[in-house]
Amino acid sequence: MSQDPTAIFRQEAQDLFEQLEQALLDLERLPGDQDLINTAFRALHTVKGSGAMFGFDALARFTHHLESAFDGVRNGKTVADPGLIGLTLSAIDHMRALMDLSADQPDPEGEALIARLRGMSETAPPAAAPPEEKTESTYRIRFRLPADALERGINPLLMLDELRALGPCRTVALTGRVPPLEALPPGALFLDWDVMLTTTAPRAAIDDVFIFVFDDMELQVERLADPAAAPRLGEILVERGDVAPEAVAEALTRQQPLGSLLRDSGAVSGDSLKSALNEQTHLRQAAPGRQGGGGNDSIRIQAQHLDELIDRVGQLVIAQARLKQLAASEGHGLFKPVAEEIERLANELRDTTMGIRMVPIGSLFGRFRRLVRDLSEELDKDIALTTTGEETELDKTVIERLNDPLVHLVRNALDHGIESPQQRLAAGKPRQGRVQLSAVHSGAQVLITIKDDGRGLDLAAIRARAEENGLIQPGARLSDQELYLCIFQPGFSTARAVSSLSGRGVGMDVVKRAIEALRGLVEVASTPGHGTEITLRLPLTLAIIDGLLIRVGRGRYIIPLAAVEECMELSHADDLRSKGRSFLNLRGDLVPFLRLRDLFACPLPADPFQKVVIVSSGEQRVGLVVDQVIGDHQTVIKSLSRLHADVESFSGATILGDGSVALILDVPHLVEAGQRHDALATAS
């Protein structure tokens, strides 16, 4: 089923907006970087052209004005100072809104932005001349002279001769705008020119060729990053914006390979063709810079199709588990190897499919550069954002649901954590505050850390507000970690005044609920005067996990394997000694444990030799007493119905090989319950 062309444009436009935004934020640090300027200009040009093609006329019209204003930066007439960058970023926000605005609707906000851009371009100081490059460079030049150029005595052939004097070049005249002869006005010029030029002269030398008609013509000059790469024809046409990627893909489906044409004509045998193709593949893989494959090695697919694929793989995993169980029960010698082979293929397919869903978290981190920049200006603070581990991959569904929690945490770090420049200087700190976003793999989890070098958490203020809100008893003895957890309670805030950023006590509560909904954990560490570090522990995926299958009575349950530390036997003597205390001596450490049969009100008597599964959540551990540890299980997670949404002991369900349902234990909730039980026992 083909996708709606306007939907394709909307997706690509959002990617272009993000690309443009990142280029502008980098340009703010490196105002003279010509590559960044060209990247921003190309993104604007593509949005304008594609928007007009797909009927987004309001967007195309506004982007044309923005492109014209930014052309001064590209041509060295205007400096990309923070004022122009900030105004262009505001224009990008308006471009996003214009995606849903029809061409005939009034756009006063857009007109105001255009007026400010024009005013800024007229009053901006000229940019410093870019440094001349002595190395050989290849440029793509496309220019269109005004229609009355010949009448004004402008000779385009002399301009082409001047370009040839700069170095080897190839020129093509474009006749697409030339009208029929009977409609051709005398003396009018309708030709455009494409020129490929290789030269050691600076970029300014190309502009000098057109200096007398610069303001009246259309000129695009693009430096090619790697002309030796020899891109294919379709790639050149798409990259220049002459043809849509879909049209190239459709044409390629109708194109016959050269080898097929030669073989069908009898000019070459099938064996010779196969041998030549093998040599070609080998040479491509062995060539420098080609190991990763050439050309465009990625495609865009709809998220709905990917979700359907994951669902089918989940059903395959369930069917494979049933096949494995049948093979074990039948005991047929020929049946078991086939079942094992299907299990191997199903596991490989599962891993490959899950890999398709994995997205680098850098796509999420990049959004916060703009947030930090805007909030720093609003708060009148000097704050820098650094990111590490952008290549760390995470399930796309997790990344999509992480945006809001991270926004709350970053805003809190900027508002509550980082001091004002004056306070930082008085405390002996650098004037500029720092916020760091980092991600790293840890087993089957990803750890995302938000760290700032601000004032840290004020334990006295947290305790006072917690007592005031009735969250803790006055004078209660609590550890620092237990006090930190108070900030995640609904309505909790130490801010005495409500501002546009904080004070209502909803942010951290939202964070905790969102992370727990992702089967994750939130950990807090803080040093007064030196900053706060909040770590989010998240599963790699929400679809299929490795689990440990256990039995309690007749019921079977799944414990996520990532939370399991070890399994051990609970002897009858240990069981009797622990009555009333529910503690286990684990190599000198007292670990509280929960009897799942009591928690689940199981009426059957316990097995004579029960097992204890030690699970952890953060730095806390608890033992879960079960009747039997059955073994590992590929767990396809199914959500619970709304009727069971308030059952805190379970986070989901899965289907076993025999068709029965096993509930998935919510380890963080069970660990928290075990720790509460431990605290009550200690108090008593």
pLDDT of residue 577: 64
Domain boundary among 481, 510, 539: 539
- Looking at the fold, whether 473 and 437 belong to one and the same domain comes out as yes
pLDDT of residue 234: 57
pLDDT of residue 432: 92
Domain harbouring 22, CATH code: 1.20.120.160
pLDDT (mean) for 177-204: 86
What's the domain count of the chain?
Answer: 6
pLDDT of residue 503 exceeding 50, the answer is no
Is residue 81 within 8 Å of 31, Cβ to Cβ? yes
- Looking at the fold, whether 496 and 643 belong to one and the same domain comes out as no
- Looking at the fold, whether 379 and 497 belong to one and the same domain comes out as yes
- Looking at the fold, whether 97 and 179 belong to one and the same domain comes out as no
- Looking at the fold, whether 399 and 385 belong to one and the same domain comes out as yes
| CA-CA-CA-CA torsion sign (654, 655, 656, 660) | positive
More reliable by pLDDT, 536 or 152: 536
- Looking at the fold, whether 409 and 534 belong to one and the same domain comes out as yes
Domain boundary among 327, 360, 393: 360
More reliable by pLDDT, 467 or 1: 467
Q: Which of 15-29, 109-123, 267-281, 285-299 has the highest mean pLDDT?
A: 15-29
pLDDT of residue 425: 92
| Token pair recorded at residue 107 | 């756009």
- Of all residues in the chain, the percent with pLDDT exceeding 70 is 79
Q: What is the pLDDT of residues 325-364, one digit of tens each?
A: 787 777 666 777 888 888 888 888 888 887 888 888 988 8
pLDDT (mean) for 535-543: 81
Is 246 contained in some domain? no
Least confident piece of the model among 38-42, 131-135, 387-391, 493-497: 131-135
Burial class for 178, CB neighbours closer than 10 Å (0-12, 13-18, 19+) = middle
Residues in the chain: 684
Is residue 48 within 8 Å of 64, Cβ to Cβ? yes
- Reported pTM: 0.61
Secondary structure class of 318 (helix, strand, coil): helix
- Looking at the fold, whether 550 and 531 belong to one and the same domain comes out as no
pLDDT of residue 617 exceeding 50, the answer is yes
Is 298 contained in some domain? no
Burial class for 588, CB neighbours closer than 10 Å (0-12, 13-18, 19+) = exposed
pLDDT of residue 105: 75
Q: What is the pLDDT of residues 53-65, one digit of tens each?
A: 777 888 888 888 8
pLDDT (mean) for 509-525: 84
Q: What is the pLDDT of residues 449-473, one digit of tens each?
A: 999 999 988 888 888 888 888 878 8
- Looking at the fold, whether 32 and 81 belong to one and the same domain comes out as yes
pLDDT of residue 258: 58
Is 676 contained in some domain? yes
Is 242 contained in some domain? no
Domain harbouring 459, CATH code: 3.30.565.10
| C-alpha pair distances (Å), 356 with each of 117, 292, 400 | 42, 17, 15
pLDDT-based confidence at 1, cuts 50/70/90?
very low
pLDDT of residue 648 exceeding 80, the answer is no
Domain of residue 311 covers: 304-360
Domain harbouring 182, CATH code: 3.30.70.60
| C-alpha pair distances (Å), 173 with each of 141, 160, 190, 192 | 12, 11, 10, 6
Is 557 contained in some domain? yes
pLDDT of residue 680: 63
Is 593 contained in some domain? yes
pLDDT of residue 51 exceeding 60, the answer is yes
More reliable by pLDDT, 396 or 132: 396
More reliable by pLDDT, 389 or 262: 389
- Looking at the fold, whether 574 and 662 belong to one and the same domain comes out as yes
pLDDT (mean) for 563-577: 78
pLDDT-based confidence at 248, cuts 50/70/90?
low
pLDDT of residue 298: 61
- Looking at the fold, whether 511 and 372 belong to one and the same domain comes out as yes
| C-alpha pair distances (Å), 68 with each of 62, 71, 82, 433 | 10, 5, 18, 36
Least confident piece of the model among 64-78, 279-293, 385-399, 573-587: 279-293
- Of all residues in the chain, the percent with pLDDT exceeding 90 is 9
Looking only at the bridges linking them, the beta strands covering 433-442 and 628-636 are unpaired
pLDDT (mean) for 126-132: 51
Domain boundary among 123, 147, 174: 123
Is residue 542 within 8 Å of 560, Cβ to Cβ? no
pLDDT of residue 653 exceeding 70, the answer is yes
Least confident piece of the model among 271-275, 555-559, 583-587: 271-275
pLDDT of residue 584 exceeding 70, the answer is yes
pLDDT (mean) for 141-157: 85
pLDDT of residue 540 exceeding 80, the answer is no
Is 32 contained in some domain? yes
Is residue 684 within 8 Å of 657, Cβ to Cβ? no
pLDDT of residue 562 exceeding 60, the answer is yes
- Looking at the fold, whether 351 and 371 belong to one and the same domain comes out as no
Is residue 171 within 8 Å of 194, Cβ to Cβ? yes
- Looking at the fold, whether 366 and 356 belong to one and the same domain comes out as no
Is 513 contained in some domain? yes
| Token pair recorded at residue 180 | 């029929």
Secondary structure class of 54 (helix, strand, coil): coil
